[in-house]
């Protein structure tokens, strides 16, 4: 082959390779900001669906989403007054999450949970277990932990759990084809 | 309807979204490349969800049958 053509081919190949490396990967990065039952369910349905479609999934829990990952069976001692107050006022884990609409003092949420069981829809705690099984990564915002006075010993035992900040999320999001904020 | 050969059958009836897709993504890995999995679902959303899943995961739906409230997919593992 003409040496000039060969050189051009080489150059094109190198450029293609660098383009492939720079492009986003088959990943989903999601911010779970809300602690509402409905939004949390939607987050986990999308996350597990994405994992089923072969995507690598990372869920970043921040602000009101953080208490969803508290373990109802665990407690933490040595909190200051604000931490104790937040701890008492925020839902203690996924089973305590409320609907964003039609909660009706607990009746609406109970009815929705009953309906979900009847229609064979997985509960939020079951969805978290499924996410763990599918290898979905969870990152908990360190700032939210300290703002709300949560301690690591009161959080869920989740296999792929990391405490991190905004840079970790952004680094993941930059390399992801899909980014969501829920 | 012709009888299609398959290596594995998955009963996904009465499972709502996202379980059918989650289960088929696991089930397809239990057969060899080139083999077929039969999946039976009652989820109406599966009619559009399974082709979307197959497209992105690189598998092939070779046949879809609808009968008495059920959808039966025959899916070939391609990779």
Structural domains in chain A (count): 1
Q: Indicate yes or no: CB of B17 within 8 angstroms of CB of A120.
A: no
Q: Nearest CA of chain A to the CA of B75: how many Å?
A: 14
A182 with A159: CB under 8 angstroms?
A: no
pLDDT at res. B3? 75
How far apart are alpha carbons A27 and A45 in whole angstroms? 15
Q: What is the count of residue pairs from A and B with beta carbons less than 8 Å apart?
A: 36
pLDDT above 60 for A104: yes
Task: Work out the average pLDDT over B55-69.
Answer: 92
Per DSSP, helices labelled H in chain A are: 3-22, 37-52, 81-89, 107-118, 124-133, 142-147, 166-174
Q: Nearest CA of chain B to the CA of A54: how many Å?
A: 6
pLDDT at res. B2? 57
Domain ranges of chain B: 8-76
pLDDT above 60 for A3: yes
A85–chain B Cβ distance below 8 A for any pair: no
Given CA atoms A96, A87, A72, A151 in this order, what sign does their dihedral have?
A: positive
Given CA atoms A170, A172, A175, A178 in this order, what sign does their dihedral have?
A: negative
Average pLDDT of chain A is 93
Element (H, E) at A178: strand A176-181
Active site residue B15: no
CATH no. for B8-76 = 3.30.110.40
- For residue A175, give its domain range: 35-181
CATH number of the domain to which A100 belongs: 3.40.1260.10
Q: Indicate yes or no: CB of B25 within 8 angstroms of CB of A53.
A: yes
């Amino acid at each position: 082959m003409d040496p000039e053509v060969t050189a051009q081919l080489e150059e094109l190949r190198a450029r293609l390779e660098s383009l492939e490396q720079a492009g986003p990967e088959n990943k989903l990065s999601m911010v779970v900001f809300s602690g509402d039952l409905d939004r949390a369910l939607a987050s986990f349905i999308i996350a597990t669906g994405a994992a089923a479609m072969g995507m690598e999934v990372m869920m970043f829990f921040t602000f009101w989403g953080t208490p969803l990952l508290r373990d109802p069976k665990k407690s933490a001692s040595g909190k200051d007054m604000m931490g104790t107050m937040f701890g008492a006022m925020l839902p203690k884990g996924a089973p305590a999450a409320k609907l964003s609409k039609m909660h009706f003092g607990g009746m609406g949420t109970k009815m929705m949970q009953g309906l979900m069981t009847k229609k064979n829809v997985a509960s939020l705690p079951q969805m978290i277990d499924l996410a763990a099984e599918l290898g979905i990564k969870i990152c908990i915002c360190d700032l939210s932990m300290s703002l709300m006075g949560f301690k690591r010993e009161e959080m869920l035992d989740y296999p792929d759990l990391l405490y991190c900040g905004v840079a970790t999320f952004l680094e993941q999001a930059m390399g992801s084809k899909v980014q969501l904020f829920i | 309807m012709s009888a299609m050969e398959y290596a594995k059958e998955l009963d996904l009836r009465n499972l709502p979204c996202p379980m059918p897709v989650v289960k088929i993504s696991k089930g397809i890995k239990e057969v060899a490349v080139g083999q077929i999995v039969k999946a039976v679902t009652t989820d109406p959303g599966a009619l559009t969800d399974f082709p979307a899943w197959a497209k992105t995961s690189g598998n092939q739906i070779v046949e879809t049958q609808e009968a008495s409230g059920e959808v039966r997919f025959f899916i070939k593992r391609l990779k």
